[in-house]
Amino acid sequence: MKIIERAQIEEILAGLDLVPLIEEAFRGYSAGRAIVPPVGELLMDKGEVHIKYGAIRGDDYYIIKIASGFYGNAALGLPSSNGMMLVFRQDSGEPAAVLLDEGHLTDVRTAIAGAIGAKALARPDVERIGVLGTGVQARLQVQQLAPLFETREVVAWGRDPERVAAYATDMAAAGFRVEAADHPGAVAAVCGLIITTTPSTEPLLQAADIRPGTHITAIGSDTTEKQELAADVLALADVVVADSLEQCHTRGEIAQAVAAGAIAEDKAIELGVLLAGEAVGRTSAEQITVFDSTGVAVQDIAIATAIVEGAQRD
């Protein structure tokens, strides 16, 4: 059994093109080739821990992933996320590797899923990218969009002005120009692609905030309590896409909107079905689209398998 630490993981990641691997994982999931049990989670006073696990039939490995989010860690000088992935052989159950990634692989695969959703649904002529939040996903999600959209203009909102300023500095180093917004609605007023990355339990955007033609990638709402979009945003949307319809019955923006009676469960389509060409996404420039990303174990399977195979080649 190999123990692979974060430094080596980052070296391997630098040589990988993960987008097609994760796209194929989503297609496999929607085609019924994946075994993905319900998410396990610990919701505690100061943080949360998610346990996601599964296998894709015919693959070499199955994966158990532990990922945590402790959002007060910035005051302690610690990252908000942590975790590891455990890799086992499908044919024998023998442990193959422990990936001590400190939550980095979860961050990367989440950002890639956001980019996949935006590529499938957003208008190609986006002039500004809007971001709610200032953490790791606020950075990685935008960086993953760089190959897909020409714009490098970002409008960002966060509750802490100092963190917004730090975000602007970091993103400038990555080639993006960041303008700070006073409130979430000000982001939506000028942006055709919006990424929500906060742990908010109260809606930050309302339907009245959203312009025609906007795409929203909703990242932060991955538990039963979290919500960044008011239910009327999903009611307004012409196309609503879930990473997992099953998970979005119990968590995420779709679950919140269904519970509020704003949309029917069958309004949403699944990302893997869209990627397979078996459903229609955006069909006009004026449509409003939403991608509800709650995080699916097949993303972890794809990225963990790529790391293990990369380590074997080294």
Give the integer Cα–Cα distance in Å for 143 and 206.
26
Q: Which of 52, 65, 119, 267 is catalytic?
A: 65
- Which tokens is 10 given? 């980052």
Give the integer Cα–Cα distance in Å for 228 and 43.
18
Q: Across-strand partners of 97?
A: 2, 87
SS3 115: helix
Burial 86-113, CB ≥16 within 10 A → b, else e: bbbebeeeeebbebbbbbbbbbbbbbbb
- Which tokens is 202 given? 């109260």
Alpha-helical (H) ranges within 122-200 are: 136-145, 161-173, 184-190
Q: Which of 308, 275, 233 is nearest to 115 (CA)?
A: 275
Q: How much is the CA Rg of the chain, to the nearest whole Å?
A: 19
> Which residue is it, tokens 């080739």?
33
- Which tokens is 23 given? 């796209």
Is residue 46 flagged as an active site residue?
no
Give the integer Cα–Cα distance in Å for 300 and 84.
11
Contacts of 52 (CB under 8 A, 6+ apart): 36, 39, 40, 65, 67, 295, 296, 297, 300
Long-range contacts of 80-86 (CB under 8 A, 24+ apart): 80/135, 80/136, 81/106, 81/107, 81/136, 85/300, 85/304
Amino acid at position 106, single letter: T
Question: Annotated active-site positions, please?
Answer: 65
